[in-house]
Chains A and B, each alone.
Chain A
Amino acid sequence: MENIYEILRFLAYHAIFIITAMVFTTYLVLTIFSAVSLRLYLRKNSYVDYNAIVSSPLAPTLSVIAPAYNESRTIIDNIRTLLSLYYNNYEVIVVNDGSKDDSLEKMIETYELEKVNYYFDYRIPCKRIRGVYKSRNRSFKKLTVVDKVNGGKADSLNAGLNVSINQLVVSIDADSIMEPDALLKLVKPFMEAKDKKVIGAGGVIRIANSCEISGGHIKKIHLPRKFLPRAQVMEYTRAFLMGRMAWSELDGLLLISGALGMFDREVVIQAGGYRTDTVGEDMELVVRIRRHMAELGVKYDVVYIPDPLCWTEVPSTVKILARQRSRWTRGTMETLLTHRKLFLNRRYGKLGMLGYPYWLVFEYLAPIVEFLGILWFIFLAISGKLNWPFFLLLSGFVYFFAVSLSIWSVFFEEITFHKYEKRRDVLKLIVTALLEPLFYHPMVMLMSIKGNLDKLFKRNTWGKMERKGFAEQ
């Protein structure tokens, strides 16, 4: 009895140390996994001739669904990019989500659109579709524009799913710029499937701020000039090249970014489509389709590929970043709450035993505990009870370990895709890695706390992302 008490006391007393060891071990393991899977991916795909997919009759049919709300400034260029993707058997469905600007008029004029007698079924509920438009000009035969009553991004994606008839659907943000070969790279995992059905695939999202863009294509890649977007470059590189790559390898991937993801259309429809009552519809969908497949007892896979496939503009002001992060926090909370049944539930395999607990503890709870820890730290500091030398030692430990992880991700980027060609850009990234924990991270943590408060006080808005528009850059 005494032994048990002593062990429990030991655990309680040193829980922090244990958590530290767990956290660092987790990150080291994730880094190793991502390194291994990156190496395998690059070797495997260095021999691939993606062009074989373009002309093959065996390639699956695709529908690219792009919801658009008040995207008048960028919509024409973005549709042009979507229509010029390398793939043969695909269509582009742009869903005008009741825009208040002249998006629809611009599309009608530029692409010579007319309302057609399109018959479809509301297999997934969505707001009323006012009309489906096709072009008189056969050069734009791949384009379908759906005009509907405003219902949000998820509702627009559902409308697109209802109109689509192809095997696979690609959900994208209308304001993102896809790499021309993005579809070829995303479709490959679906074609490689053998004993497991591939139900979803995602790729790396890159940051387009300060890049040279013309005609809906990235012409020259630059690192963002401002610190805030540059810190996000660091964050995205780490998250995509290290975190998601490793989670894909571990079969615990819970999120395919809403900016670009490919899904099996029938699976998405059977699972009920996108949920419209959450602001984190991208994560919620992935968790739900995984859960759906597990409940059916069908072997499945959600695949992540490290190729940079899509470019997007990220917030460059604190105000907009705060809105975005608040939304992400609320989305995570809603998804974790909706699917709480998964927590440590063996029936759902790695999803329940690994993916869900990780997200709960490391992604959702961490900022909250961290915030409380900081409050406690302030209290100790004010009351003079703090052991400053020990604090400084720990600060150094955390800071340098964190920066070294970031430098690892820069290294991964360097030996894999090497998108920033200028040496100056790499040095800037290194400096950003050194500054990020001091300035950017505390800010993002507070934004996450705000997200929790917003959810608590039911301030459940999407938040407007004010973009400069690619056409101007």
Chain B
Amino acid sequence: MMNAGPYLRLILVLAMITCSATQRAGEYAVQDVPYLETLVQSGEGFTDDGTAETESRNTDGSFGAGLIERFERSPAFITVLYGVITYSILTMIILLVIILLNRRRMQREEMQQEELREQYQEILMEYLFDEGDQEPSLDELVQIASNKFSRQILIDQMIDLSINLKGEIKDKTRALYLQLGLDNDSIEKAYSTQWHKNVKGFRELAFMNIRDAVDRIRECLNSNNEILRMEAQVAMVRLSDENPYQFLDFMEKPFSLWEQLTLHELVIQHELPVPPFRQWFDSQNLSVVIFALEMVAWFKQADAGQEVSSLFDHPEERIRQTAFRVAGEIGMKDALPQLKERYNGESYMNRMEILKTFVKIPDEKHLDFLKSVLDKEEDVQLQILATKAMENTDEPGISMLIKLMKSKSEYKNYQIIIRHVLDGRIY
């Protein structure tokens, strides 16, 4: 289904106004409305029903009458119509010109960018990888990067290049960045009053490992602008040598899944030092606790097992749910009895998570529990998970499932559940 567009409404109004036009024509005193005077003289079928006019004129003195008088005597309505028509035609022409000029500008800029990129790339490669003659290349760079547009292309080019570089060459790129004074451009952006420029500045400084604007970045760690806040977090992690994740201690705003994902990606991609994430399990910010749990699972920090199991009793359902999952991810076999105990008191989603943990950590000691889940639960997904957990224990579980398949239960079709679980084509 689709919005039919504004025309329906517009033409509706046209038709309706037209309907009332005959009446209103009478209302407008021709001598009061010069526009209409012209229209009447040139037009046909202009009716001359003066009833409404007389009525409205007879109510002098009252507020309502004043209002009517003012409206009817004024040519404002006609002026508005002409005004809107003029505005619309002008807008159309101006927009058309802008569209066409914008196309030309974009094409020109694109060509210019391409040209500059090629030039810079050549000079940069020569400078970075050629031991001999460095000075002329540098002069050339300074000369070409004489305006902001060109310098920005050079900055982008150097950042793109440094992403794939390591060691000495990366240091050399950074030195060149400083030598060309490009850090001033980045710092200027970091201190700009426009957030999108701040973001760009933070990114450039973080990539080039320049710490001159760290105070400004720190200020933005609790910014209300979530994009700026996220970029500040990322920049801080990259720029801090000691405890880059310190911002998690002071984080007040919720840490969205998107921010968590971005930070996680950063840690992985840049092989940043990984702290023991259990230190944030007691954070007052629940989203930080969830992130810490996720990271414990991802980095397989099995030594955090005890702290993870202490979160099984957390009052917040989402934290318990994540803790149950993490227990499975890091193979906390000792936690299974605890999970078994918690099972009945948990929500549907949490029970699902508990069973998934049993699937991940097969243990024949709990076959009776799993069998009871299979028997008692009515929900298909819970039944399937319990059966999968049984199957994963190998011989004892599979024997039990075969026995169940052969048995004829009045209230449960075990065969259909077990067949689903044992079907290798269902991934």
Chain A positions near chain B (C-beta within 8 angstroms): 2-7, 9-10, 13-14, 16-17, 19-20, 23-24, 27, 43-44, 46-47, 49, 52-53, 55-60, 114, 116-121, 134-136, 138, 141, 165, 188, 190-195, 234-236, 238-239, 243-244, 255, 257-258, 280, 282-283, 325, 327-328, 331-332, 362-363, 366-367, 369-370, 372-374, 376-377, 380, 384-391, 393-398, 400-405, 407-408, 410-411, 414-415, 418, 423, 426, 430, 436-437, 441-442, 444-445, 448
In the bound complex, do residue A114 and residue B47 qualify as a contact, i.e. CB atoms below 8 Å apart?
no
A118-B426, A192-B226, A390-B21 given; 8 more Cβ-contact pairs under 8 Å? A10-B68, A13-B52, A47-B203, A236-B2, A397-B81, A400-B88, A404-B88, A448-B8
**B15, B20, B81, B425: the one within 8 Å of A393 (CB):** B81
**B13, B18, B39: the one within 8 Å of A19 (CB):** B13
In the bound complex, do residue A391 and residue B5 qualify as a contact, i.e. CB atoms below 8 Å apart?
no
In the bound complex, do residue B22 and residue A386 qualify as a contact, i.e. CB atoms below 8 Å apart?
yes
In the bound complex, do residue B102 and residue A415 qualify as a contact, i.e. CB atoms below 8 Å apart?
yes
Known: A3-B63, A119-B420. Contact between A411 and B10, CB under 8 A? Answer: no
B interface majority secondary structure: helix
* Interface residue? B12 (CB, 8 A): yes
Among the stretches B166-174, B179-187, B254-262, the one at the interface with A is: B254-262
**A6, A192, A437: the one within 8 Å of B256 (CB):** A192
In the bound complex, do residue B17 and residue A16 qualify as a contact, i.e. CB atoms below 8 Å apart?
yes
How many residues of chain B have a CB within 8 Å of chain A?
97
- For A397, the closest partner residue in chain B by CB is B81
Q: CB-CB < 8 A to B226: which residues of A?
A: 192, 194
Q: CB-CB < 8 A to B27: which residues of A?
A: 13
Q: CB-CB < 8 A to A398: which residues of B?
A: 10-11, 13-14
Known: A116-B425, A370-B8. Contact between A191 and B68, CB under 8 A? Answer: no
In the bound complex, do residue A114 and residue B425 qualify as a contact, i.e. CB atoms below 8 Å apart?
yes
Q: How far is the CA of A441 from the CA of B6 in the complex (A)?
A: 10
* Interface residue? B65 (CB, 8 A): yes
Q: CB-CB < 8 A to B85: which residues of A?
A: 396-397, 400-401
In the bound complex, do residue B71 and residue A258 qualify as a contact, i.e. CB atoms below 8 Å apart?
no
Chain B positions near chain A (C-beta within 8 angstroms): 1-25, 27, 36, 38-40, 42-47, 52, 59, 62-65, 67-68, 71, 77-78, 81-82, 84-85, 87-89, 91-92, 95-96, 98-100, 102-103, 106, 196, 199-200, 203, 226-227, 231, 253-254, 256-258, 260-262, 264-265, 294, 298, 379-381, 383-384, 416-417, 419-420, 422-423, 425-427
In the bound complex, do residue B4 and residue A235 qualify as a contact, i.e. CB atoms below 8 Å apart?
yes
- For B86, the closest partner residue in chain A by CB is A400
Q: How far is the CA of A372 from the CA of B15 in the complex (A)?
A: 8
Q: How far is the CA of A66 from the CA of B55 in the complex (A)?
A: 65
In the bound complex, do residue B1 and residue A282 qualify as a contact, i.e. CB atoms below 8 Å apart?
yes
Which 8 residue pairs across A and B have the least CB separation, nearest first?
A: A6-B64, A373-B15, A389-B39, A370-B12, A389-B43, A239-B3, A400-B88, A119-B420
In the bound complex, do residue A380 and residue B100 qualify as a contact, i.e. CB atoms below 8 Å apart?
no
Known: A116-B423, A388-B43, A437-B7. Contact between A404 and B91, CB under 8 A? Answer: yes
- For B4, the closest partner residue in chain A by CB is A444
- For A247, the closest partner residue in chain B by CB is B3
A-B contact pairs, 28 of them (CB 8 A): A6-B62, A6-B63, A7-B67, A13-B23, A13-B27, A14-B71, A16-B13, A114-B425, A117-B423, A119-B383, A134-B425, A192-B256, A193-B257, A235-B2, A239-B3, A327-B1, A362-B8, A362-B9, A369-B12, A388-B45, A394-B21, A398-B10, A401-B88, A411-B98, A426-B100, A437-B11, A444-B8, A445-B8
Q: How far is the CA of A437 from the CA of B10 in the complex (A)?
A: 10
Known: A235-B5, A366-B9, A415-B102. Contact between A395 and B21, CB under 8 A? Answer: no
Q: CB-CB < 8 A to A138: which residues of B?
A: 427
**B8, B24, B264, B425: the one within 8 Å of A366 (CB):** B8
- For B1, the closest partner residue in chain A by CB is A328
Q: How far is the CA of A59 from the CA of B256 in the complex (A)?
A: 12
- For B260, the closest partner residue in chain A by CB is A58
In the bound complex, do residue B64 and residue A52 qualify as a contact, i.e. CB atoms below 8 Å apart?
no
In the bound complex, do residue B3 and residue A243 qualify as a contact, i.e. CB atoms below 8 Å apart?
yes
CB distance from A368 to the nearest CB of B (A): 9
- For B100, the closest partner residue in chain A by CB is A423
CB distance from B265 to the nearest CB of A (A): 4
- For A400, the closest partner residue in chain B by CB is B88
In the bound complex, do residue B426 and residue A53 qualify as a contact, i.e. CB atoms below 8 Å apart?
no
In the bound complex, do residue A52 and residue B262 qualify as a contact, i.e. CB atoms below 8 Å apart?
yes
- For B378, the closest partner residue in chain A by CB is A121
In the bound complex, do residue B62 and residue A402 qualify as a contact, i.e. CB atoms below 8 Å apart?
no
Which of B4, B25, B38, B67 has most chain A Cβ within 10 Å? B4
**B8, B59, B81, B227: the one within 8 Å of A2 (CB):** B59
- For A434, the closest partner residue in chain B by CB is B92
- For B71, the closest partner residue in chain A by CB is A14
CB distance from B277 to the nearest CB of A (A): 14
Q: How far is the CA of A136 from the CA of B25 in the complex (A)?
A: 78
In the bound complex, do residue B103 and residue A423 qualify as a contact, i.e. CB atoms below 8 Å apart?
yes
In the bound complex, do residue B21 and residue A386 qualify as a contact, i.e. CB atoms below 8 Å apart?
yes
In the bound complex, do residue A387 and residue B46 qualify as a contact, i.e. CB atoms below 8 Å apart?
yes
Q: How far is the CA of A444 from the CA of B7 in the complex (A)?
A: 10
Q: CB-CB < 8 A to A14: which residues of B?
A: 71
In the bound complex, do residue B426 and residue A134 qualify as a contact, i.e. CB atoms below 8 Å apart?
yes
Q: CB-CB < 8 A to A194: which residues of B?
A: 226, 253-254, 256
CB distance from B326 to the nearest CB of A (A): 12
- For B38, the closest partner residue in chain A by CB is A389
- For B379, the closest partner residue in chain A by CB is A121
Known: A47-B227, A114-B425, A389-B39. Contact between A367 and B2, CB under 8 A? Answer: no
CB distance from A387 to the nearest CB of B (A): 4
CB distance from A260 to the nearest CB of B (A): 13
In the bound complex, do residue B294 and residue A58 qualify as a contact, i.e. CB atoms below 8 Å apart?
yes
In the bound complex, do residue A386 and residue B45 qualify as a contact, i.e. CB atoms below 8 Å apart?
yes
In the bound complex, do residue A388 and residue B44 qualify as a contact, i.e. CB atoms below 8 Å apart?
yes
CB distance from B74 to the nearest CB of A (A): 12
CB distance from B16 to the nearest CB of A (A): 5
In the bound complex, do residue A441 and residue B102 qualify as a contact, i.e. CB atoms below 8 Å apart?
no
In the bound complex, do residue B8 and residue A441 qualify as a contact, i.e. CB atoms below 8 Å apart?
yes
In the bound complex, do residue B265 and residue A52 qualify as a contact, i.e. CB atoms below 8 Å apart?
yes
CB distance from A235 to the nearest CB of B (A): 5
Q: How far is the CA of A398 from the CA of B10 in the complex (A)?
A: 6
Known: A5-B64, A367-B12, A394-B18. Contact between A426 and B99, CB under 8 A? Answer: yes
CB distance from B46 to the nearest CB of A (A): 5
CB distance from A130 to the nearest CB of B (A): 15
CB distance from A63 to the nearest CB of B (A): 13
Known: A283-B1, A397-B81. Contact between A366 and B12, CB under 8 A? Answer: yes
Q: CB-CB < 8 A to A388: which residues of B?
A: 43-45
CB distance from B422 to the nearest CB of A (A): 8
Q: How far is the CA of A395 from the CA of B17 in the complex (A)?
A: 10
Q: How far is the CA of A377 from the CA of B45 in the complex (A)?
A: 13
Q: CB-CB < 8 A to B98: which residues of A?
A: 411
Q: CB-CB < 8 A to A397: which residues of B?
A: 14, 81, 84-85
Q: How far is the CA of A116 from the CA of B416 in the complex (A)?
A: 11
In the bound complex, do residue B380 and residue A23 qualify as a contact, i.e. CB atoms below 8 Å apart?
no
